Amino acid sequence: MKAREARVVLTGASGGIGRAMARTLVDSGAAVMLVGRTMPTLAALAREFSGPAQAPFDRVGCHAADLCDPAAIDHLREAAVAWGANVVVHSAGVPSFGRLESLSAADIQRTLGTNLLAPILLTQALLPHLRGLARAQVICVGSALGRIGLPGFSVYSASKFGLRGFAEALRRELADSAVRVQYLGPRSTRTGFNSADVDAYNQATGTAVDSPHTVALALLDLLESEAAERFLGFPEKLAVRLNGLAPSLLDGAFDKHRSNLPAATTNAPSLGQPLPPITFTASSRTES
């Protein structure tokens, strides 16, 4: 659909990519409900878009929610329905980087809960409303790492591979409906989402980095084209295709990436030590 026809629920709106997406959508005529964890931050962002000579206030709203809290998802569903949402953009996420043995069980659970489970549950909650509309779209903002597994990103890739699989399967499940399900796969993006270790890793491996505005423009194009999925950047687009056809052929291409990982530390529970209970609490650093 055209941006001016869209009433978008945008999660992760206060992150670097989320802010760029919000600005691009609003500037293109869309109404946007900004969703994040902190209301003062969202309200300040909404005021940026609703000032003199900018978007009318009724086109920019905000809703604070911890997306890893099932009750918060239910409240967001109510707000989105009242808002008249016809597009959901899952842009919230948390990072995970390092050798697997260096990651704590809590970090692993937080990454999978925020990046994968929360979008699934929010989509499920909103689906009855979206099915009742003449046109609706669900856009999952994943990563190129949802098609290419890199050393150091085992858990993050698991969350994004899962998100892409969810989008693909649901797209086919809803093919006879008016709901379009799409996947956007940015490559590394220049925001505070990346730690100093990730920045050093990207520099050592020659990884190209896009601006948030580049990703935001890709989202707008995906919204209006209604294409099934889109990946950004070269050689990432080529690697996505090759990895899908013959993933083992690329295994040797990532020796440099493996050798530039930080040294391993051990955070995993020792033998016989129980895992912590699964609780869905999101990090304060959220973004795609």
In this structure, what are the phi and psi dihedrals at residue 37, rounded to the nearest 5 degrees? Answer: -85, -25
Q: Is 190 a residue whose pLDDT tops 90?
A: no
Answer yes or no: are the C-beta atoms of 19 and 45 closer than 8 Å.
yes
* Range picked from 124-128, 143-147, 148-152, 265-269 for highest mean pLDDT: 124-128
Q: Is 217 a residue whose pLDDT tops 70?
A: yes
Q: Label residue 282 by pLDDT band (50, 70, 90).
A: very low
CATH no., domain 3-259: 3.40.50.720
Least confident of 95-104, 159-168, 201-210: 201-210
Answer yes or no: are the C-beta atoms of 204 and 250 closer than 8 Å.
no
> Any idea where the domains of the chain sit in the sequence?
3-259
Q: Label residue 210 by pLDDT band (50, 70, 90).
A: confident
Instruction: Enter the pTM of the model.
Output: 0.81
Find, among 63, 1, 2, 4, the residue nearest to 31 by Cα: 4
**How confident is the model over 28-58, as pLDDT tens digits?**
999 999 999 999 999 999 988 875 555 555 7
Q: What are 34's strand-pairing partners?
A: 10, 62
Average pLDDT on 179-187 reads 92
Answer yes or no: are the C-beta atoms of 140 and 90 closer than 8 Å.
yes
